[in-house]
Amino acid sequence: MADIVIAEFMDEASVHRLQAKTPVLYEPDLVDRPDDLRAALGSARALIVRNRTQVRAALLDAGPKLQLVGRLGVGLDNIDLAACAARNIAVYPATGANDAAVAEYVVCTAMMLLRGAYRDTAAVAAGSWPRERLIGLEIAGKRAGLVGFGGTARQAAARLAALGMHISAADPFLPASHPAWQTAERLELSELFATCDVISLHVPLSAETRHLVNRETLALMKPNAVLINAARGGVVDEAALADSLRARQIAGAALDVFENEPLDTVHGALFQGIDNLILTPHIAGVTAESNVRVSSMIADIVLRDLKLG
């Protein structure tokens, strides 16, 4: 029986480190086999997941010996923290380990959306040569608005500032005296939406942030502004965003996270035919390098807490 259960993909070197110390069940598709996952937890002291495994009370009940849940990432909306606390199960996210990957995703998509030159490969190959239609904007001199100004947002801000952007942020939980504000203009949320050219979301999903981006906030945005969500699905009202993009009320958007994941054909139909939209499969924080960092951090924590070091 497994002492550690890993339900989603993890860097192989970190898996091997764990396997060298104790029995480990590593099956990256275990998340898609809920009955097998519950059965596997019978003797497990640690469960390692990414964002797809729903760690709720019913799953926790299947693991009476669980001592900790390791999250290969930072978002915790798929983990019932109260249920874990009630069972004295510690929850550890890989805080900071994938900040750089997300920051680079934000910079890349911001430049692609503003420039707008990358949407017509088929037309160019067909000889239509749509130069005038693909004239876009430069990123230098524009204003970036970061909703939430934690570690990931600050790394994105540093990279965007290096490209010549003016940095603004809205974060009611970050005290005005915090030194991070020396690198960004502190704005209220409504002013940020109304004045910024690139708006990037960096908040967790909670009752307060659900549909934070909605028809009202989208209506505040400038027509040449773009929106990036590599934070959490549910922060954006997807129907409202789709309508805004189709009506050309804003210039473009990129979504890496969705209210329903994995995004299936039924929910994906909402976005069909929108040419000023980039969709990616919750991959912003996952690069070859960040996967190593995240996996190594969680492996270290598991070995420490289970006293296997």
Indicate which residues carry an active-site annotation.
Answer: 232, 261, 282
Residue type at 294 in one-letter notation: V
The Cα 165–Cα 159 span in angstroms is: 9
Task: List the end-to-end C-alpha distance of the chain, in Å, as a whole number.
Answer: 20
SS3 for 149?
coil
Cα 142 to Cα 52: distance, rounded to the nearest angstrom: 36
Q: How far is 20 from 41, CA to CA, in rounded Å?
A: 20
**Helix (H) / strand (E) containing 303:** helix 288-305
Strand order in the sheet with 4-6: 24-26, 4-6, 46-49, 68-71, 90-93
Three-state DSSP class for residue 156: helix
Residue 144 belongs to what H/E stretch?
A: strand 143-147
Which residues make Cβ contacts (< 8 Å) with residue 89, sequence separation at least 6? 60, 66, 67, 68, 69
If one counts every other C-beta atom within 10 angstroms of the C-beta of residue 132, the result is 6
Q: What is the DSSP string of 58-122?
A: HHHHT-TT--EEEESSS--TTB-HHHHHHTT-EEEE-TTTTHHHHHHHHHHHHHHHHH--SS-HH
Residue 262: asked if its preceding bond is cis (omega within 30°), the reply is yes
Q: Residues 5-19, buried b or exposed e (16+ Cβ, 10 A)?
A: bbbbbbbeebbebbe
Residue 181, CB half-sphere, CA atoms under 13 Å: how many? 12
